[in-house]
Amino acid sequence: MVNYRHWFCTLQKVHISISDSEALPKGCGWGLVRPYTLLCDLESIWGVAVESVAASGTLAAILLALVLLCRLRHISEADKRSGVGPILLLLLGILGLFGLSFAYLIEQNESLCLIRRALWGFLFAVCFSCLLIQGVRLRRLGRERRSPSGCALTGLALGLSGVQGIIAAEWLLLTVMREGRAACHYLPLDFSLACSYVLALLLAALTAASLALCGKIRQWRCNAVWLLVTCLLSLLLWVAWVGFYLYGNEWFGRNPEWNDPALAIALVAQGWLLLIFHAIPESHICLRGPPQPTAPDYFDTSQNSTRMRETSFDEDIPLSHRQFVENQGYGYNDENTAGTVHHCPIF
């Protein structure tokens, strides 16, 4: 009788495990179960796509940060060295955006919703504060040929980002602690209004980039162009995801279902946008060596005439050849003097 009971319990456990494996989505094995099924569910392909793009972006940001740290001692120019701190802080914010996107691939719970609401605006504020600081830096370089130190710029960016952290903390305290609402229950409009300061930072960064483009020194206009393109694309992305989050889901009739995909895609898209259009070009310009001085081309008529007049041809002639030419000139003058016959007038 004991053996029959043992076999019956074993068969029952096998039946339960088979039924659980059949209940798993397509693409998920024994390791990933709920609430992590979106990481491997091939039927909801958006989760796997966001996971892949976020993982590749995380790897790219880490590699770029390591390259900057390893080559930091080779950056000798102070104006380029001042931009390394904001770039590293921006890469840290980009890593946060990619990491936060994984939080939208897990089923909601109270602690996870608190993390989402607390870090969403703060991470965007870190990134957009770095863009604003870069615009101010390029403006100073374009007008005065000097910039504040990298530590001062990084500290200012962190201070601007901390304002959004205070806003998010107050929003959570008022809605969750005082009113007793669930952390996952909030209106999309409230979520968007809590990010108003982030949008103000983006508009300020766009203005700073436009002013930096009008600088007197053309050396920094390339940086300003990349910064302006980044701000414009970021603004278009924010208009797109806010509009879809507020009105698109209701129009398609997928209001609660498509909220998490919309926010996750916005995080990944913003991270790659900042990485491609700002972090990589700015890092390349910082790591690029100073231009080598070239000899003036005297046969180039496009050069400034004043520079041609101020430049002496004798500077390019070696000293020994110059003395030889002068001695030959003196000898030639002496021969002409000796061979000249002076005729006196006859009265």
Domain with residue 93: its CATH number is: 1.20.1070.10
- Assigned domain for 36 exists: no
Specify the higher pLDDT residue, 308 or 170: 170
Q: Pick the more confident residue, 83 or 305.
A: 83
Position 15 scores a pLDDT of 41
Per DSSP, the residues of 245-259 read IIIIHHHHT-TTTSH
Which among 172, 177, 274, 187 has a CA at the least distance from the CA of 226? 274
Helix (H, G, I), strand (E, B) or coil at 300: coil
Determine, yes or no, domain membership for 268: yes
Mean of pLDDT over the chain: 79
Tell me the C-alpha distance between 340 and 195, whole Å: 96
Q: What whole-number distance in Å separates Cα of residue 317 and Cα of residue 294?
A: 17
Q: Is residue 110 part of a domain?
A: yes
Cα-flanking dihedrals φ and ψ of residue 183, to 5°? -65, -25
Indicate the number of domains in the chain: 1
201 lies in which domain range?
45-287
145: left (phi over 0), alpha (psi -120 to 50) or beta: left
Q: Is 253 within the bounds of a domain?
A: yes
Instruction: Please list the alpha-helical segments (H only) found in the chain.
Output: 2-23, 45-70, 78-81, 84-103, 110-144, 150-172, 188-193, 196-212, 221-243, 249-252, 259-274, 280-287, 305-310, 319-338
What's the mean pLDDT in 60-75?
92
Q: Has residue 219 got a pLDDT over 80?
A: no
The answer to the question of residue 296 being in a domain is no
pTM: 0.76
Using a pLDDT cut of 90, give the percent of the chain over it: 41
List Cβ neighbours of 275 (8 Å cut-off, separation of 6 or more).
Answer: 57, 60, 61, 64, 94
Average pLDDT value for residue range 156-167: 95
Mean pLDDT of 6-17: 44
| Lowest-pLDDT range of 11-15, 49-53, 96-100, 101-105 | 11-15
The answer to whether residue 305 is domain-embedded is no
Please report whether residue 102 resides in a domain. Answer: yes
Name the DSSP letter for residue 40: T
Asked if the structure places residue 283 within a domain, the reply is: yes
pLDDT of residue 256: 67
Q: Are 238 and 199 in contact (CB under 8 A)?
A: yes
